[in-house]
Amino acid sequence: MTQALAGVDAVVLCAMNPTRASAVELEGARRILTALDAGSGSPAHVVYISIVGCDVPGYPYYGVKHRTEQVLEAWGGPTTVVRATQFHALAAFFAGFRVGRLGARVGDMAIQPVDIEFVAQRLAEVASGPAPQRFSRTTDLAGPDLLGPQEIAAMVAAHDGRRPPHLVRIPPVGAAMRSFSDRSNVPIGAADIGGARFVDWLAGQPRPLPRGMHHAR
pLDDT digit string (tens) for the chain, length 217 residues? 989 999 999 999 999 998 999 999 999 999 999 999 998 888 999 999 999 999 998 899 999 999 999 999 999 999 999 999 999 999 998 887 777 788 888 999 999 999 999 999 999 999 999 999 999 999 999 999 999 999 999 999 999 999 999 999 999 999 999 999 999 999 998 999 999 999 999 999 999 988 755 444 3
Q: What is the pLDDT of residue 212?
A: 59
Mention every residue, 6+ apart, whose C-beta is less than 8 A from residue 20: none
Structural domain boundaries enclosing 182: 2-214
Q: What single-letter amino acid sits at 171?
A: P
Give the CATH number, domain containing residue 134. 3.40.50.720
Q: In what order do the strands lie in the sheet with 102-106?
A: 98-99, 102-106, 166-170
How far does CA 99 lie from the centroid of its chain?
27
Query: Cβ(116)–Cβ(133) under 8 Å?
Result: no
Backbone torsions φ then ψ of 174, nearest 5 degrees: 95, 160
Q: How many domains does the chain have?
A: 1
Strand partners, 12: 47
Query: Cβ(56)–Cβ(179) under 8 Å?
Result: yes
What is the C-alpha separation between 36 and 46, in angstroms, rounded? Answer: 10
Pairing status of strand 45-51 against strand 79-84: parallel
Query: Cβ(109)–Cβ(58) under 8 Å?
Result: no
Q: What is the pLDDT of residue 210?
A: 84
Q: What is the pLDDT of residue 213?
A: 52
Q: What is the pLDDT of residue 67?
A: 98
